[in-house]
Amino acid sequence: MNVLEVRLGELSYPIYIGSELLGDSAVLTPHVGTGGALIVTNETVAPLYLQRVKHSLKDIRHDVVILPDGEAHKTTTTLELIYDALIAGRFSRDVTIIALGGGVIGDMAGFAAATYQRGVRYIQIPTTLLALVDSSVGGKTAVNHRLGKNMIGAFHQPACVIADTSALQTLPDRELRCGIAETIKYGLIRDPEFFAWMETNLGGLLARDEDLLAQAINRACQNKAEVVAVDEREQGERALLNFGHTFGHAIETGLGHGEWLHGEAVAAGMCMAADLSVRLGRLRQDQIGRITRLISAAGLPLRAPRSIPPERMLELMALDKKVLAGQVRLILLDDIGSATITADFDADALRDTLSACREVA
């Protein structure tokens, strides 16, 4: 087991990365408060891992709420089910909420923890690669609104993150590829050596080599932890972690949440951001070739769906959380491993990107 630290002063917490951690009571129980626990999971994950987590809690009082699976259920209506379980179970401010699942479960359970009785403790136990390398770390919590993704949320740091790499062996291939998209992102925005490592080792990652997966998770989490430590509330550098997301969130909202998986939309969004970076003279053409080759080799989309016209994409991008003073801000690449957030870009170049980077009919 490897242990990383997210350094946030009094809000600091460990990330435990290793195999077979889900049933390890010595890892989980020290982070559970005195008021018992509510395990929040979903219909897909519960049959696989719920009993192992329950067993690791030993004699600690706990209840369970099992939510429907999928991005389409990341809503305030589903969130009410968590509050119902907390109130019905008479849990007070010393409860610990345990998020057992992918990014949707982590985001909803975390938001419930941020808001129940004005804030309670929670633990992230991610079971997808995307959640392991991204959404479980950093304290971003949210639910979707019909007009935009993650528009209702809060920053609320977990007590710990327990990243069990063995859980990835049951992950569907499509979900694995989505996690690889978010892993590639770290190489593109700040870690060129990691991007090159991904180029060399992608085949092993897709084959679920546990040693390679553990290395990728460690490197990605280290990158995320370093960024969060200097910018918890996304006032500066942390915004770079949203590379590709302004385009990607527009795709998700335009199609309807859940039609494309988050990692698929982000993969296409990263390609669109790279295309715009080339059009603006920031990024060399040969570099976008490396980017699209790696994303394509991972089995991820390179273009937005043709069903969303460019003008609709622009409308949806204007709802992005990074919009400031009415201006869309985008994360663009200056090099592989170097990114900038800016509102200073040619609007016609953006329209050209949105037109060019669409699926062929």
30-74 confidence digits (pLDDT tens): 999 999 999 999 999 999 999 999 999 999 999 999 999 999 999
What does the alpha-carbon distance between residue 193 and residue 336 come to, in Å, rounded to a whole number? 9
End-to-end Cα separation, the chain, in angstroms: 48
| Cβ burial 63-95 (10 Å sphere, 16+ → b, else e) | bbbbbebbbebbbeebbebbeebbeebebeeeb
Q: Tokens at residue 258, please? A: 């859940």
Residue 265: partners with Cβ closer than 8 Å, 6 or more residues away: 247, 248, 249, 251, 252
Active site includes 290? no
- Which is nearest to 242 in space by CA: 179, 311, 188, 163? 188
Question: For residue 361, is pLDDT > 70?
Answer: no
Question: For residue 23, is pLDDT > 70?
Answer: yes
* Mean of per-residue pLDDT scores for the chain: 96
Active site includes 237? no
327-337 mean pLDDT: 95
The one catalytic residue in 71, 182, 232, 252 is 182
Question: For residue 235, is pLDDT > 70?
Answer: yes
361 vs 113, which has greater pLDDT? 113
340 pLDDT band, cuts 50/70/90, is very high
Question: For residue 112, is pLDDT > 80?
Answer: yes
Active site includes 62? no
The one catalytic residue in 62, 73, 121, 140 is 140
What does the alpha-carbon distance between residue 259 and residue 251 come to, in Å, rounded to a whole number? 9
Q: Give the three-state DSSP class for 359.
A: coil
Pairing of strands 330-335, 148-155: unpaired
Active site includes 145? no
Active site includes 257? no
The one catalytic residue in 62, 121, 190, 224 is 224
Sequential DSSP letters for 69-121: PSGGG-SHHHHHHHHHHHHHTT--TT-EEEEEESHHHHHHHHHHHHHGGG--E
105-118 mean pLDDT: 98
- Which is nearest to 64 in space by CA: 40, 97, 30? 40
Residue 220's pLDDT is 98
| pLDDT above 70 as % of the chain | 99
- Residues 101, 77 contacting (CB under 8 angstroms): no
The one catalytic residue in 177, 190, 219, 249 is 249
> For residue 5, what are the β-bridge partners?
14
Determine if residue 65 is left, alpha or beta; phi over 0 gives left, psi from -120 to 50 gives alpha, anything else beta. Answer: beta
Q: How does pLDDT run across 139-170, given as a tens digit for each residue?
A: 999 999 998 889 999 999 999 999 999 999 99
Q: Tokens at residue 265, please? A: 């939309």
**If you ran DSSP here, which 8-state letter would residue 280 be given?**
T
The one catalytic residue in 71, 175, 234, 264 is 234
Residue 146: partners with Cβ closer than 8 Å, 6 or more residues away: none
Q: How does pLDDT run across 237-281, given as a tens digit for each residue?
A: 999 999 999 999 999 999 998 899 999 999 999 999 999 999 999
Active site includes 174? no
Residue 7: partners with Cβ closer than 8 Å, 6 or more residues away: 225, 229
Question: For residue 324, is pLDDT > 80?
Answer: no
- Residues 265, 177 contacting (CB under 8 angstroms): no
* Geometric angle at alpha carbon 213, from 210 and 218, rounded to 5°: 125
What does the alpha-carbon distance between residue 101 and residue 125 come to, in Å, rounded to a whole number? 7
- Which is nearest to 59 in space by CA: 38, 39, 36? 36
- Which is nearest to 340 in space by CA: 267, 265, 239? 239
Q: Pick the range with the lowest mean pLDDT from 267-271, 273-277, 325-329, 348-352.
A: 325-329
- Which is nearest to 87 in space by CA: 136, 129, 38, 44? 38
320-327 mean pLDDT: 75
Question: For residue 122, is pLDDT > 90?
Answer: yes
Angle between helices 347-356 and 262-279 (to 10 degrees): 130
319 vs 154, which has greater pLDDT? 154
Q: How does pLDDT run across 182-202, given as a tens digit for each residue?
A: 999 999 999 999 999 999 999
Q: Give the three-state DSSP class for 356.
A: helix
What does the alpha-carbon distance between residue 72 and residue 194 come to, in Å, rounded to a whole number? 33
Active site includes 234? yes
What does the alpha-carbon distance between residue 53 and residue 35 come to, in Å, rounded to a whole number? 17
Active site includes 58? no
Question: For residue 180, is pLDDT > 90?
Answer: yes
Q: Radius of gyration (Cα) for the chain, nearest Å?
A: 20
| pLDDT above 90 as % of the chain | 93
For each of the domains in the chain, give its residue range(s) and CATH number, in order of start. 2-170 (3.40.50.1970), 173-356 (1.20.1090.10)
Residue 313's pLDDT is 96
